Amino acid sequence: MILLAIIGGIGFTFLVAFSTKPPMEAIQQAQSGLSYAREVEAEKYAPRMMVSAERSWQLAMNEWKYQNERLIFVRNYEKLKTLAGTTNEQASLASEKALHIKDSLQSGLSNKLKTVGHKIDHFQVNYAHLPLNGTARQNYSNARLRYLESKQAYERGDYKQVGLNLDVASQLITKSVSEAHGFLSGYFKDLPKWRRWADETIAWSKNKKAAVIIVDKFAHRCYVYHGGKLKREFDAELGPNWIGTKLYRGDKATPEGKYHVTKKKARRETKYYKALLINYPNDDDKTRYDTNVKNGTIAKRGIGNLIEIHGDGGKGINWTDGCVALTNDDMDKLYEMVSVGTPVTIVGSLRSLKELNGF
C-alpha cells in the first residue's frame, strides 16, 4: 500500500514537472510587438493590420485560457505558440507600415505645406493687392486661415487633422490663383497693342525731339521720354479699379489709350496741386462706349471726362477717380518738362504677365 502511494506520488510529481509549459518567450514577444505598434500609432496609420494583430492576440489569449482549463497533463500550447508568433509578426508589420506611412505622410504634408505656403505667398505678393473680381480674395483669406490651422496641427503631430485642413486650403488657394491668373491673362491679351502704342510714342518723341509721357499702370510708373530717350520716371497712383480701361463715368478706372495734354493747370486751377488735363475720351473711347451702350454691356450713364495727371499723390494706394496722381515734387518736375500737345500714352503694362509673376 505504502509502495503504491510512493509510486503514485513520484509519478504525479514527474508528470507535473514534465508537463508542457506555456511559450512565455513567444507571448512576451507578441505583447512587446503589440505595445510598440500602439506606440507608433499603428491603430491610426495601419488600422487593418493592427486589427489583425489584435485579433490574433485575442485568439492566443482565448487558446491559453482554454488550455489552462484543461488538466495539466494534457495541455498543449503549440497552437498558443503559433498564435503568439502570428501576433508578433502582424504587429511588426503593422508597426513597419505605420512608421512608413507616418514618415511619408509627414514628409508629404511637409512638402504640401510648403507648396500651399508658396502659393499663398505668391498670391499675397502678386494678386492680393489687385482689384480682383469674384471670390479670389475671399478664397485666399479662407485658404490662409486653413493653412495656418494646418501648420499648428502639424507642429503637434496630428497629421490627420493637417491633411483635412490642408486639402481645403490647397483647393481654395489654387482656385484663387487660377481665378486671378485667368482674370489677368484676359487683361494682358492687349499687351502687344500696349507695346505698339509705347513704341510709337517713343518713336514720335525721337522724330520730333520732344517730350512724351508713358504711364505703365501695372508698374504704377510714369515715364518721361525726350528725343526718344528715357529722362525721368515717377511713381504713379491710379483709380481703385485700375485693371481694365475706363468705360464710363464713375467706374474709378484709369483709361488706356493714346492721348495728349490739352491743358496745363497751375496751382490755383486745380485742387490737386498741379494738373495736366488729357483728351479723354478720345475717338477710340467714344466708339467703345457707344458700342457697349448699344449692345447693352453698360447702361447709358456718360463716358466721363476730366482725366488728368495731377499732384497730391504719394499715399501708397490707388485712390483717384481714374486720374494718374504723382507726388507734388514729381508733379513739379513733370510740369516743367511738358507742354500742351505732349503725347500721353497710358498702357496696362509694358511687361508680360510671365515677366511680372513668373506664370
Partner 1 sequence: MLTLASLFALAILFTSCAKPPEVEIANAKAAVEAAKAAEADRYSPAEYKALNDSLNVAMTEIENQKSKFALFRSYKNVTSKLNDVVVISETVKENAGIRKEEVKDEAQQMLAEATTMVSEVNDLIAKAPKGKEGKEALEAIKNDLALVEATLAEVSTLIENGDYLTALDKVKAATEKGNSLKSELQEVIAKTKRPI
Residues in touch with partner 1 (CB under 8 A): 1-2, 4-5, 8-9, 16, 19, 21-22, 24, 27-28, 31, 34-35, 38-39, 61, 64-65, 67-68, 72, 75, 77, 131, 137-138, 141-142, 144-149, 151-153, 156, 158, 161, 240, 252, 273, 312, 314-321, 328
State which residue, 187 or 204, has the beta carbon closest to partner 1.
187
The dihedrals phi and psi of 229, each to the nearest 5 degrees, come to -115, 145
8-state DSSP, 19: S
CB atoms within 10 A of CB 342: 20
Task: Using the minimum distance from each CB to partner 1, give the nearer residue, 116 or 198.
Answer: 116
**In 49-160, where do the E strands start and end?**
none
Q: Which is nearer to partner 1, 21 or 209 (CB)?
A: 21
Q: Which amino acid is at 295?
A: N
Q: How far is the CB of 324 from partner 1 (least distance, A)?
A: 15
What is d(CA 202, CA 212) in angstroms, rounded to the nearest whole number?
7
Q: Which residue number, 18 or 358, has a Cβ lying nearer to partner 1? A: 18
Q: Least Å distance between CB 65 and partner 1?
A: 7
Minimum CB separation of residue 213 from partner 1 in Å reads 22
Categorise residue 182: left if φ over 0, alpha if ψ from -120 to 50, beta otherwise. Answer: alpha
Q: Confirm if 318 and 237 have CB atoms less than 8 A apart.
A: yes
Given the complex with partner 1, which of 138 and 207 has the nearer CB atom? Answer: 138
Cβ at position 158, least distance to partner 1 in Å: 7
CB of 40 to partner 1, least distance (A): 11
CA–CA–CA angle 7, 13, 16 (5° rounding): 140
- Long-range contact pairs involving 138-143 (C-beta distance under 8 Å, separation at least 24): 139/172, 139/173, 139/175, 139/176, 139/179, 140/172, 140/173, 140/176, 142/172, 143/116, 143/168, 143/169, 143/170, 143/172, 143/173, 143/176
Number of neighbours of residue 29 by Cβ within 10 angstroms: 18
All residues at 6 or more sequence positions from 359 whose CB lies less than 8 Å from its CB, including other chains: 181, 353
In the complex, least distance from residue 28 CB atom to partner 1, rounded to whole angstroms: 8
What is the nearest approach in angstroms of partner 1 to the Cβ of residue 291? 28
Confirm if 326 and 213 have CB atoms less than 8 A apart. Answer: no
Nearer to partner 1, 49 or 325 (CB): 325
Q: Nearer to partner 1 by C-beta: 273 or 289?
A: 273
Torsion sign over Cα 95, 97, 101, 107: positive
Question: Residue 200 half-sphere exposure, CB side, CA atoms within 13 Å?
Answer: 14
Q: Which is nearer to partner 1, 17 or 299 (CB)?
A: 17
Give whichever of 1 and 299 is closer to partner 1, judged by the CB atom: 1
Half-sphere exposure for 302 (CA within 13 Å, toward CB)? 6
CB of 116 to partner 1, least distance (A): 13
* Residue 336 C-beta: closest distance to partner 1, Å: 20
Q: Which three cell numbers stand for residue 156?
A: 503637434
